[in-house]
Structure 1
Amino acid sequence: MGIQDIIEGKKQWRAHLARIKALPPDYQIVYKEIQKYLIKVGPTDLTEGNLLSGIVDFFEEGVAAGKGVLELIGPDVAAFCDDLIKDSRTYAEIYQESITKKTEK
């Protein structure tokens, strides 16, 4: 990874953050909770994929349709996140496997 890649990555991240700041406050709060959840438990390919930007796209469409954020995702943020990453390998699974291996030895 070269300097140009790092610079481009920062530009993309700043543009992503600007899109989040343009959302209504309730959407911003839920987005931050989703982000925290996914970073803590989420898929190992979170940084490689477009999951977070896809969520912002989804939220922007909800705002344009005049819907509240909980109308889009439901009352349980964790359940929404789990559904998003159900087919992905997660850090939580990797951690659980390492614990299981240690206890078996």
Structure 2
Amino acid sequence: MGIHDIIEGKKQWRAHGARVKALPPDYQIVYKEMQKYLFKVGPINLPDGPLLPGIVGFFEEGVATGKGVVELIGTDIAAFCDDLVKDSPTYADVYQESISAEPGADEK
């Protein structure tokens, strides 16, 4: 990863943050809680992947149609997030595999 990639990544992250800040306050609160949850238990490719921008797009569509955030995702943020990442490998999966592997298996 070169310096150009790092700069481009920062630009994209700032643009993403601007999209989040353009959402209504209730959507922003829910998004930040989802982001916090996903960074703890989410998929390995979360920072680079399409999940977070996809959530913002989904929220933008909800705002455009006049729906409240609870109408879109329900009242259980964790369950909604878990459903989004159910088929993606998570850090918890990697950890579980590492502790259940045979001792010395990494040395081969």
TM-score (structure 1 length as normaliser): 0.90
RMSD: 1.4
**Correspondence for 1:17:** 17
In structure 2, how many angstroms separate the alpha carbons of the residues matched to 1:96 and 1:76? 25
Q: Secondary structure at the match of 2:43?
A: coil
Moved over 6 A (4+): none
- What is the alpha-carbon distance in structure 2 between the residues aligned to residue 29 and residue 18 of structure 1? 14
Aligned equivalents of 1:55, 1:24: Cα separation in 2: 14
Secondary structure at the residue paired with 1:19? helix
2:75 aligned partner: 75
Q: Distance in 1 between matches of 2:37 and 2:100?
A: 23
1:41 and 2:41 matched: yes
Q: Please state how far the C-alpha of 1:96 moved relative to its aligned partner.
A: 2.9
Measure how far apart 1:92 and its partner are.
1.5
- Matched residue pairs, number? 102
Question: Structure 2 regions of 5+ residues with no counterpart?
Answer: 103-108
In the alignment, structure 1 segments of 5+ residues that lack a partner are none
For residue 49 of structure 1, report the CA deviation from its aligned partner: 1.2
User: Which string of whole-angstrom CA distances, capped at 9 and with x for unpartnered residues, describes residues 14-60 of structure 1?
Assistant: 00000000001110010011101111000111123110000000000
Q: Distance in 1 between matches of 2:6 and 2:94?
A: 28
TM-score w.r.t. length of structure 2: 0.88
Q: Which residue of 1 aligns with 2:27?
A: 27
